[in-house]
Structure 1
Amino acid sequence: MEHKAFPVLYVGNMRRSVEFYTLLGYEQTYQFPLEGDPHYVGLERGESSLGLTHTSWPEAQLGITVGTAPRFELFLYVDNVETQIETLRAAGYEIVQEPANMPWGERQAYAFDPDGTPVALATPI
């Protein structure tokens, strides 16, 4: 049995969110149900895993309503920050912070995913 943890993001538009994370190098490896519009999608990127589920899931299963304010950011290392930001910009996603050198030795930028979650993209300098 494999012991790993991964975040599951609550998303408002599954198709748009899968598209966004696919642009960041994730590949869809699973969906439920297997046919038709998915309620859950599993994504992989190297050793990194990510789950996406519609905002109706926590409402139905846990009795909670998903708010609009982010409670975390997703931090991803990419091969080239500038290229990745331009790919997202060309696809119509909001770039929050342009690439800049950080004092800790990384070039970093921020974009919002379709639900407003901040996604940091970084490349070591």
Structure 2
Amino acid sequence: MAIQPIIVTPNLPPVQAFYEQVLGAVEVFRYPEQGKVFYKTLKIGDAELGLVAEPADVSVPPRITLSIGVDDVDALLPLVEPAGGRVQGPSNDMPWGQRVAHVFDPDGNPVNLTQDL
């Protein structure tokens, strides 16, 4: 069994670019193969993230947070804003043994960058 988060976005190119530039995402699937895209799958490490190109109200507060394990949270933070995202604040060491930074992708979706300590 696998769970694949899917982001519905009216801004597919900048959202895709954010995940590519910050997390090294690689496009592994596109539908349709030619013409105006409806769906893409991005591979991030061993996980997949879907992107659906559809109108969506990005002003509505999100109800889910992506939590993505990375090797070095602090090395990625300077990449977030140039990639169109927003950093909520500095990274912090948590009592459960992770360093965590809270960021937002270009659509305002919350993303927790987590690093095991």
TM-score by length of 2: 0.88
> Which structure has more RCO (C-alpha within 8 Å, separation ≥ 6)?
2
Larger Rg: 1 or 2? 1
Write out the 4+ residue segments of structure 1 that deviate beyond 6 Å after TM superposition.
Answer: none
Q: Are 1:68 and 2:60 an aligned pair?
A: yes
Question: Gaps spanning 5+ residues in structure 2: where?
Answer: none
Deviation, 1:34, is: 1.0
AA of the residue aligned to 2:79: T
Match in the other structure for 1:83:
75
User: Do the aligned partners of residues 7 and 92 (structure 1) sit closer, same or farther apart at CA in structure 2, a change above 3 Å counting?
Assistant: closer
The answer (yes or no) to whether the contact 2:84–2:105 under 8 Å persists in 1 is no
Match in the other structure for 2:13:
15
Match of 2:2 among 1, 4, 8: 4
C-alpha RMSD of the superposition: 1.9
Which whole-Å CA distance do the structure 2 matches of 1:99 and 1:66 have between them? Answer: 25
Which whole-Å CA distance do the structure 1 matches of 2:80 and 2:109 have between them? Answer: 14
- CA-to-partner distance for each residue in 1:33-57, whole Å, 9 max, x for gaps? 212342111011222011000233x
Match in the other structure for 1:46:
45
- CA-to-partner distance for each residue in 1:55-112, whole Å, 9 max, x for gaps? 33xx8xxxxx776210100000111101111111333421012111111111110111
Which whole-Å CA distance do the structure 2 matches of 1:92 and 1:7 have between them? Answer: 20
State the secondary structure of the residue aligned to 1:90. coil
TM-score by length of 1: 0.83
Which whole-Å CA distance do the structure 1 matches of 2:100 and 2:58 have between them? Answer: 28
Question: Gaps spanning 5+ residues in structure 1: where?
Answer: 60-64
Instruction: Give the fraction of aligned pairs with identical amino acids, expressed as a percent.
Output: 32
More helix, by proportion: 1
The answer (yes or no) to whether the contact 1:6–1:50 under 8 Å persists in 2 is yes
